[in-house]
Amino acid sequence: MFRKVVGLSIGLFLSAAASLAIAAAKPTVTIGYVDGWADSVATTFTAAEVIRHQLGYEVKLMPVAAGIMWQGVARGKLDAMLSAWLPGTHGSYYEKMKNEVADLKANTPDAKIGLIVPEYVKASSITDLVAQKGDFGGRIVGIDAGAGVMIKTDEAIKAYNLDYKLVASSGSGMIAELIRAERDQKPVVVTGWIPHWMFAKWKLKFLDDPKGVYGGSEQVHTMANPELEKKAKPVWDFLKKFSWQPGEVNEVMLAIEEGKKPEQAAKDWLTAHPDRVKSWL
């Protein structure tokens, strides 16, 4: 009996050691995301949890600006990103780098960008901002400079002859302005997008864009450096299948906003939806 127990223990030890050795032999996968974008954080951390715990790869997550994220994937400094807004928002980035990146799939359908105001605001169209400049203080509160929605807003200011200043900030800075305005019921116009948890928290509306500067419905795509397929084929295959169904990413975003760490919010969602994980794998 003693020999059997010892033999079993040694067998288990060798098996565990072999598993660790195999895991250690796998390369680390580096994924870029934009820290101030709620959807980018939720999507990236969820995918990373699957790659780590289902596929056995170490994952390094890199918070970067949008332009650097694209350049990182194109130059091989990043293996992938799950935050490419196409065809409009990041269209200029894609045109410059489309021969250096691989478009794996849209992971989030029916996305949209534009100018957003609280429902209590009188303005319903971007054209209304001209006459209501005083109400808004001549300011449009933006996010990080260089983001696609910021580039489009610069275009909108020119297209609609708006005598407004576009104030660069961050995702959290934009939300802070929105919080203050909602608390005091004052007008504010911000750059924004869906999916985003703020639409679950407040009654908001997109301003109509009759000139179509912001484009129509968009999709968020997963982009990878072409070398990833050889470097980590299981990760490549997973990223080609990974996508949200309507409303799913909102659940992860809201959990993060309500105080959960992104890793924990992702783990909890994945635990509650094993069928979705199975479909991706």
Q: Please report the DSSP string for the chain in residue order.
A: -HHHHHHHHHHHHHHHHHHHHHHHHSPPEEEEE-TT-HHHHHHHHHHHHHHHHTT---EEEEE--HHHHHHHHHHTSSSEEEEEEETTTTHHHHHHHTTTSEEEEEEEEEEEEEEEEETTSS--BGGGGTTTHHHHTTEEE--STT-HHHHHHHHHHHHTT---EEE---HHHHHHHHHHHHHHT----EEEEES-THHHHS-EEEPB-TT-TT-S-EEEEEEE-TTHHHH-HHHHHHHHH--PPTTHHHHHHHHHHTT--HHHHHHHHHHH-HHHHHHH-
Domains with residue ranges and CATH for the chain: 26-111+218-280 (3.40.190.10), 112-206 (3.40.190.100)
Reading the chain (281 residues) residue by residue, the pLDDT tens digits are 555 544 545 555 555 554 454 445 899 999 999 987 889 999 999 999 999 999 999 999 999 999 999 999 999 999 999 999 999 889 999 999 999 999 999 999 888 899 999 999 999 999 999 999 999 999 999 998 888 899 999 999 999 999 999 999 988 899 999 999 999 999 999 999 988 888 888 999 999 999 999 988 899 999 999 999 999 999 999 999 999 998 899 899 999 999 999 999 999 999 999 999 999 99
Model's pTM, two decimal places?
0.75
